[in-house]
Structure 1
């Protein structure tokens, strides 16, 4: 597979995920994520298809833009003028030409795990460019410790292997210790119960009858007049 095929493959995945056409920025970031995931599959022992630099608000590749322009010249992709929903600025959307038969990532022999991750990203971020940029900027290895203008390093893209995690052996608790802990817990529960009884008192039938009387209509005493209270 060549670079142009990868670009078309990403656009095809976007079409299949129902988020086509793509903003130029989104297209570039998904291509960057594809590079990251491919590098992780090889434990960082790979050469990225494009040179990426930390420019402006994240990873960018001038070579990617050249390849996109080439595909547009070849009429394999088309551009659609539009207006950004987030800031109202003019923007350009990219999609595959209607008559173009394009291979998706699986057709290009990209592993199922990488394809699934790209599809998950597309469904997760969809039209939310801000969240996509945050993910690319803050949560991908090549961007960590990178400074503006740096060429991004993909050798630290190491996919974590569950076998690398150290198993922690928990100390077995004896039956005697468990029994003692249960007894102490039971004592604490009894003490708390006794305090609750002391604080609230015991409620008998007279108490509940008194509450019912308070809820009833006022009693007719037959008394009339005014009462004067003095100190």
Structure 2
């Protein structure tokens, strides 16, 4: 049986970019649908399965950053949809803002189609499984920690009141890695490697942003307990007892 190709939805107000990019991705075994704005995007999300969203930042009306923020906050089935942002701006502040809004990766315009393809494939790999060095034959199906529960089978996290928490794929991976290494300080470089399979440079703030967002998602009980602690000049640690089932 032929496997179902990955499906990417490209949202960009430039018709030439939509046409050329979709053609290139289709030639490389990735199904690509396109939308010119947020209205068309939402209509397509309701009509068909989408594995990854490619969002242009600079669009008239609802821009890419706003779309990303709203998707992450609405609690729908697409709250964890992997998102790659595109922008013609070169300011690092835009990249940081995109990551803060919940984007998984960022690519500047003009871009080389081959690099876009590589980034799409890398994001999809990361969104579906932990890296090989975290995949063990006896990996637990459920973790309990300070009243919270993470269910690896349903990929759901609930707080001490039993309320379902909406986490992005990146936030979920960071939490799962911290649980696997509870009470052990992990550096930013180790967290990047374990969650994204890559190393970072001195200015890479993606882990800091993910930790900050994860703390917000976990809410007041986690803040009160100091669940995720920052260790100066070293990294982060999940400071609690963890029960694996």
TM-score, normalisation: structure 2: 0.23
Larger RCO (CA within 8 A; separation ≥ 6): 1
Higher strand share: 2
Higher helix share: 1
